[in-house]
Structure 1
Amino acid sequence: MNINKENSKLFTLYPKDNLTDEQIKPYKEKLDLALSDPKIKNLAITGPYDSGKSSLLQSYFKNREFKRGKIKTWIRKLTGKNLQEYEFINLPNFFENTENNANNTMENNIEQSIVKQLLFTENPFCFPYSRINRLKAYPIWRVLSIDLLLFFSLLFQPVRNMTKKWDWQFYFIFGIFLVLISFWIAHIFSKISISAKIKAPVGESELDTNLDNTEKDKTDLFSYFEDELIYYFKHSLVRIVIFEDLDRFNSPQIFQKLHELNENLNQSGIRIKFIYTLKESVFYNTNVKRENSYENKAAENKSKFFDYVLPIFPLHSFQNSKNKWYKALNCCDFISKNNKELSLYPSKKLIHNLGNYIFDNREILTIVSELDIFAQKLPMDMFKNSNAIDKLLATIVYKNIYPNDFEDITIGKSKIDYLMKNITKFYNAVIYANSNEITAKINSLNTEITDINRQITLSIRNYLNTKYDQICGTYGFILNGTHYYSNTDMQTVNNFWKSYLDGDGSIEQRKRISDKFELEDNKKSQIASYLNGDLQTFDILKLTNTRDNLKIDLQKNESDINAKSLGQIIDLLNKSDDSFQEKVKQKFNASVIEYIMNTDILRFLLINDYLDTTFYDYISPGSFNSSLSAEEREFLRNVESRNPTLSNIKLVHKIKVLEELENLEVDYFYAYSTDVLYLLCEQNKRDTKIQSLLNHIKKQKDFEFLSTIIDDFNLDRAVAIKLLNNLFT
Structure 2
Amino acid sequence: MGSWKGRWKRWVVCSLEKIIGKLKDPPVTPLYDDLTPNDDIDKDGIYARAIRSGLENEKVQNIAITGPYGSGKSSILKTFEKNHKQTYHFLNISLATFGSKINIPSGNNEVGGGLEDERALEKSILQQMIYRVRDRTIPFSRFRKIKHMKSRQTIQQLFLFLAFIAGAIYFFVPNLFGTLYENTVLNQSEETLSLMGSILLLFFISVYGFFLLKQMYRFLRGNFNFNKVTIANASLEMDKTNFDNSIFDRFIDEILYFFQATKYDVVLFEDLDRFDSLDIFERLRELNALINNSELVKRRVVFIYAIKDDIFGQIDTVEHSRNRTKFFDFIIPVIPILHASNSVEVLHDRLIESPYIDDIDPNFLQDVSLYVDDMRILKNIYTEFDIYKKKLGGDLELDTNKLLGLIIYKNLYPADFSQLQYSRGLVYQMMKQKDTIIEQQLTVLDDRIKQMEEKIEATKEEQLISIEELQQIYLLGLNARTGSYNQYIRINSTNFGNNATITASFFEQLKNAQHVSYNIGNGNKTGTIDEIATVFGSKDNYFERETSIELKKEDKLEALKQQISQLKREKTEVYDLSLKELIAKSDTEVFPAELLKKDLLVYLLRHGYIDDTYHHYISYFYPGSLTKRDMDFILSVKNYKARDFSYSLQHVEKIISRLRISEFKQSEILNFDLVDFILEKNQYQELFKVILDQLTNEKDTSFQFITGFKERTVHKQSFIKALCRNWDNIWVYIEEASNLSDEEIQVFLADILLFADVADIEELNKEDKLSAYLADLEDYLKVAEDLPSVKEQAILSRILVKFTNTAHLRPKEELFNYVVEKNLYQINKQTLSDILQGKVSNLTYSAIVDANVENVLAYIDQNINVFVSEVLLGQEISQETEDEIIELLNRNDLYKSLKERIIDQQALQIQDITEVDQELWKVLLEKDKLTTSWHNVFHYFKVRQTFDETMVDYLNDPYHASELAKYRLADEDAMEKEDRHMLSEEIMKSEEIKNASFEKLAASITKWNFYTTNGLPEARVRIMIKNKVLSLTVENYEDIKANHPELHLFLIEENIERFVNHQDDYALNLEEIDALFHSDVLDTYKKNLVKQIDPVILSESDEALDFAVEVAEFIVYQGMEAGAALTDALFAFDITKKCKIRLLTSQVKTLEQDKITELLKALGPPYADITEGGKRPTILNNDLNKALLSELDRNNYISQFKPEEKRLRVFTYMR
TM range (shorter): 0.5 to 0.7
For 1:24-423, what aligned pairs fall within 5 Å after superposition? 25-66=45-86, 68=87, 85-96=89-100, 102-134=113-145, 164-165=192-193, 194-197=222-225, 218-269=244-295, 270=297, 271-284=300-313, 295-329=317-351, 336-337=353-354, 346-378=360-392, 380=394, 382-383=396-397, 388-420=399-431, 423=434
Q: In structure 2, what is the Cα distance between the partners aligned to 1:446 and 1:181?
A: 114
Give 1:471's aligned residue.
none
State the Cα distance separating 1:36 from its structure 2 match. Answer: 1.4
- Summarize deviations over 1:39-92 as a string: whole Å, max 9, x none: 1111100112222211221221232223x5xxxxxxxxxxxxxxx732111001
Contact 2:347/2:378, CA 8 A, preserved across alignment: yes
**More displaced 10-residue stretch of structure 1: 352-361 or 432-441:** 432-441
Q: In structure 2, what is the Cα distance between the partners aligned to 1:163 and 1:114?
A: 63
Paired letter, 1:441 = Q
Contact 2:338/2:375, CA 8 A, preserved across alignment: no
Specify the SS of the correspondent of 2:653: helix
Shift of the 442–56 alpha-carbon distance from structure 1 to 2, 3 Å rule, reads same
Specify the SS of the correspondent of 2:274: helix
Give 1:13's aligned residue.
35
Shift of the 390–170 alpha-carbon distance from structure 1 to 2, 3 Å rule, reads farther
Shift of the 267–691 alpha-carbon distance from structure 1 to 2, 3 Å rule, reads same
Give 2:1002's aligned residue.
none
Shift of the 242–701 alpha-carbon distance from structure 1 to 2, 3 Å rule, reads same
Paired letter, 1:669 = S
**More displaced 10-residue stretch of structure 1: 44-53 or 374-383:** 374-383
Paired letter, 1:60 = F
Q: Give aligned-pair identity as a percent.
A: 22
For 1:288-687, what aligned pairs fall within 5 Å after superposition? 295-329=317-351, 336-337=353-354, 346-378=360-392, 380=394, 382-383=396-397, 388-420=399-431, 423=434, 425=435, 428-429=438-439, 431-432=441-442, 434-435=444-445, 437-442=447-452, 444-445=454-455, 545=558, 548-555=561-568, 557-558=570-571, 565-573=578-586, 576=587, 581-582=588-589, 585=590, 591=592, 594-622=593-621, 626-645=624-643, 647-662=645-660, 665=663, 667-678=665-676, 682=682, 683-685=684-686, 687=689
Shift of the 667–719 alpha-carbon distance from structure 1 to 2, 3 Å rule, reads closer
Q: In structure 2, what is the Cα distance between the partners aligned to 1:373 and 1:189?
A: 57
Contact 2:139/2:218, CA 8 A, preserved across alignment: no
Paired letter, 2:686 = K
**More displaced 10-residue stretch of structure 1: 115-124 or 304-313:** 115-124
Contact 1:195/1:206, CA 8 A, preserved across alignment: no
- Summarize deviations over 1:639-671 as a string: whole Å, max 9, x none: 222334464444332222222223665533331
Paired letter, 1:555 = K
Determine which of 672, 697, 702 is the counterpart of 1:695.
697
**More displaced 10-residue stretch of structure 1: 704-713 or 190-199:** 190-199
TM-score of the superposed pair, with normalisation by structure 2: 0.41
Shift of the 31–274 alpha-carbon distance from structure 1 to 2, 3 Å rule, reads same
Q: In structure 2, what is the Cα distance between the partners aligned to 1:65 and 1:429?
A: 68
Contact 2:665/2:690, CA 8 A, preserved across alignment: no
Contact 1:668/1:690, CA 8 A, preserved across alignment: no
State the Cα distance separating 1:218 from its structure 2 match. Answer: 4.4
Shift of the 684–181 alpha-carbon distance from structure 1 to 2, 3 Å rule, reads farther
Structure number with greater CO (CA < 8 Å, separation at least 6) is 1
Q: In structure 2, what is the Cα distance between the partners aligned to 1:34 and 1:363?
A: 32
Paired letter, 1:11 = D
TM-score of the superposed pair, with normalisation by structure 1: 0.66
State the Cα distance separating 1:262 from its structure 2 match. Answer: 1.9
Give 1:458's aligned residue.
none
Q: Paired residues, what number?
A: 571
Paired letter, 2:695 = L
- Summarize deviations over 1:216-240 as a string: whole Å, max 9, x none: 8841222222222222222221222
Shift of the 167–11 alpha-carbon distance from structure 1 to 2, 3 Å rule, reads farther
State the Cα distance separating 1:255 from its structure 2 match. Answer: 1.1
Paired letter, 1:673 = N
Q: In structure 2, what is the Cα distance between the partners aligned to 1:42 and 1:115?
A: 18
Q: In structure 2, what is the Cα distance between the partners aligned to 1:627 and 1:441?
A: 53
Note if 1:722 corresponds to 2:732: no
Specify the SS of the correspondent of 1:95: coil
Shift of the 119–172 alpha-carbon distance from structure 1 to 2, 3 Å rule, reads same
- Summarize deviations over 1:3-57 as a string: whole Å, max 9, x none: x9897285211113355xx725112222222111111111100112222211221
Specify the SS of the correspondent of 1:65: coil
Contact 1:241/1:274, CA 8 A, preserved across alignment: yes
Paired letter, 2:62 = N
Contact 1:91/1:245, CA 8 A, preserved across alignment: yes
Contact 1:44/1:308, CA 8 A, preserved across alignment: yes
State the Cα distance separating 1:283 from its structure 2 match. Answer: 0.6
Q: In structure 2, what is the Cα distance between the partners aligned to 1:727 and 1:603?
A: 41
**More displaced 10-residue stretch of structure 1: 559-568 or 10-19:** 559-568
Q: In structure 1, what is the Cα distance between the partners aligned to 2:458 and 2:210?
A: 107
State the Cα distance separating 1:205 from its structure 2 match. Answer: 8.1
Shift of the 664–14 alpha-carbon distance from structure 1 to 2, 3 Å rule, reads farther
Paired letter, 1:438 = R
- Summarize deviations over 1:664-704 as a string: whole Å, max 9, x none: 65533331123444555643316454212332654554242
Contact 1:240/1:274, CA 8 A, preserved across alignment: yes
Q: In structure 1, what is the Cα distance between the partners aligned to 2:54 and 2:322?
A: 20
Q: In structure 2, what is the Cα distance between the partners aligned to 1:436 and 1:218?
A: 72
- Summarize deviations over 1:507-531 as a string: whole Å, max 9, x none: xxxxxxxxxxxxxxxxxxxxxxxxx
Q: In structure 1, what is the Cα distance between the partners aligned to 2:695 and 2:574?
A: 15
For the pair shown, the structure with the greater C-alpha radius of gyration is 2
Contact 1:246/1:278, CA 8 A, preserved across alignment: yes
Shift of the 55–97 alpha-carbon distance from structure 1 to 2, 3 Å rule, reads closer
Q: In structure 1, what is the Cα distance between the partners aligned to 2:559 and 2:205?
A: 111
Shift of the 725–234 alpha-carbon distance from structure 1 to 2, 3 Å rule, reads same
**More displaced 10-residue stretch of structure 1: 104-113 or 36-45:** 104-113
Show structure 2 runs of 5+ residues with no match. 1-25, 105-111, 165-188, 229-235, 464-547, 733-1215
**More displaced 10-residue stretch of structure 1: 434-443 or 55-64:** 434-443
State the Cα distance separating 1:438 from its structure 2 match. Answer: 1.2
Contact 1:136/1:191, CA 8 A, preserved across alignment: no
Shift of the 547–178 alpha-carbon distance from structure 1 to 2, 3 Å rule, reads farther
Q: In structure 1, what is the Cα distance between the partners aligned to 2:221 and 2:394?
A: 63
Shift of the 295–18 alpha-carbon distance from structure 1 to 2, 3 Å rule, reads closer
Contact 1:674/1:708, CA 8 A, preserved across alignment: no
